Every structure is written in C-alpha cells, then in structure tokens.
Chain A
C-alpha cells in the first residue's frame, strides 16, 4: 500500500530562500533587476550609465544570457566587474545563480549591483532574485501595446524605462497610450524616458538610482 506524506511546501521555496540570502549579503547595496525583451537596450542603458557613476559609486553587474558572454564583455570594457551567467537555454535567472556568483568572490560588495536578466518579458517576472526592485524596459520600436500584452512585468516593476526615445520621430509609438496602460496596471510605478545614444533622460535614471540607494541606507535595518 502506498504511503502518504503531507508536504505543503512552496514550489519556489528554494528560490525564495536564496533571494533572502542575497538580500542579507547585500543589505547595504542597491540591487536592481533589469527585465525586458531581447534587444530593448538593457546593456546599452548600463553602458551609458557606467561612465557617469563609476567614479562615485562602486558597481558590479551580473549578466544573464542563454549563450555568449558578449554583454559582460561590453561592460568589462568600461572597467566595471561584470560576471556572465549562461543559462544554456533556461528562460530566466534564479536567485541560486546570483548567490553562487556572490560566493565566487568576483567583486567586493558594491554600492549598486545591476542584474540584467535573460531577455524575456514573461518568465523572469516570477523569480525574485533578492533585488530591491525590478526595472522593466520597453523600447519604442517594440510597439505601444506591450504593457497590456505583458501585464505581469509592467504591473510589478517599480520603474519602467522607455528606451530609444531618440527614435520617436521615426516610429509609430503612442507614448500617451503607454502611459495610460501603465496608470491602470501600476498606478504607483514611475516611468522614465531615455536614450542611451543621445543621453536623454539619463540624469533622471541616475538620480533615481542614487536616491534609492540613499533611501535604503537611511532606512532602519
């Protein structure tokens, strides 16, 4: 006869436990989890961000990709420690992978850790990596219907960055329609408009990072 064992355990428990450990180890750092579709400009935003803050803040980057370490190479070229996680096909990063990178000692505890997730608007939304908040990126070439088409990430992200806004004159992208969708899905989230190419909006993006780090460090533990 079969034996029955009551279990009642969360399927994501191992990820949740690892995320808690990441938070414990990086209690003084700002940890940002960047999520978007492939090609919306996550790495380009980071490349444009680094020169402006790397002298005043210690930085580190964890790159998640299915294949190649191209993104990590681009950031290392700017003098920032960047560790590539290759998922070999998996569609999202898991907090256990982040924890492993921290244990390997590639960098000292930074002021800001950017985690660039695998390019995917769906799966990464479900996995807490121990971040302070998620940032969703949406490039103007992707179309203005994406918040409602991928509601989970746009409802969850504390900050949504509209990228490649220098291309707005050349594409059909109704910014007001995106803002209306975002007001419905995520009334407390903020929206930033950036262009990594022209530098537009980078001051606001960097200001948001600095004030988030300050707020975290001022908050009672």
Chain B
C-alpha cells in the first residue's frame, strides 16, 4: 500500500542512527515487518531502492525479517494460521474474532554502515 512512505521513514531513522556515531554510508538496514501491517516485503525493498537511489546511500540493502501472523482463537483455545483465502481476522473454524499475538511488527532493528574514513582508506582516496 504505502510502502514508499514507510521506506522514507526507515531511511530517516537509519540516517539518524548513523549520525549518532559520526559520518558514514549505509551498507544495510534490517527491519522487522509483520504480516498484519499491510506492508509487502518485496514492495518495501523496491521502495527502499527508490528512496536511496542517486544519493550517498545508493546501493544499500534493505533486509526484511518477516513475522507471520500469530492469531489465537479464545473460543477454540488454539493458535490459528492466517486464512489466506479469506484474510479475515476471524477464526476459520468457528468465526470468532482472533486475538493477535504476533504479526504487527514494524521496526528498524539494525543499521550497518561504513565509516567515512574507512571508506576513503578502502578506495585509496586522498583523504
């Protein structure tokens, strides 16, 4: 749905995290995405590439840790897999509303970056 807006927020948080440690170029960013957040893992990676394209962090990778929905039916007393045919938050067996125990993750977990001075050393730059 709105993956580009989500990607831009991930970028803002990532740059902010690096800025707290000095200058550097993003290498990869690891995020947690839950199945119930309506964020498609492939589309968010595509949106990430669009967000960083042409800037200092172009080519950096977005790594998505995918968290499947964990939903419990309190009537049946069992965990229920998401009904992928219906995608309703209702028990596929007894139609009671499901309690959500997982699948709502949407977090930046970890940022990996290359320090500016190391980058210069690697590329044999003139500092």
Chain A residues at the B interface, C-beta cutoff of 8 Å:
1-15, 90-92, 94, 122-123, 126, 148, 151-152, 155, 184-185, 187
Contacts and interface: CB of A to CB of B under 8 A. Distances in A.
B107 A11 contact: yes
Chain A interface, DSSP helix/strand/loop, else mixed:
mixed
Given A92-B2, A151-B88, 15 more contacts: A2-B27, A2-B112, A4-B110, A4-B111, A5-B18, A5-B111, A6-B110, A7-B17, A8-B108, A9-B17, A12-B9, A15-B9, A90-B5, A123-B1, A151-B89
B14 interface: yes
A5 B111 CA distance: 5
A185 B95 CA distance: 9
A4 B97 contact: no
A127 B46 CA distance: 22
B111 A152 contact: no
Contacts of A187: 97
A5 B2 contact: no
Interface of B: 1-2, 5-6, 9-10, 12-14, 17-18, 20-21, 24, 27-28, 31, 37-38, 86-90, 95, 97, 106-115, 118
Contacts, number: 87
Given A11-B106, A184-B95, A3 B90 contact: no
B90 A185 contact: yes
Nearest 9 CB-CB pairings of A with B: A7-B108, A2-B112, A5-B111, A123-B2, A11-B106, A2-B27, A7-B17, A123-B1, A5-B17
B11 to A, nearest CB: 10
B127 to A, nearest CB: 18
Contacts of A91: 1-2
Contacts of A10: 106-107
B12 A90 contact: no
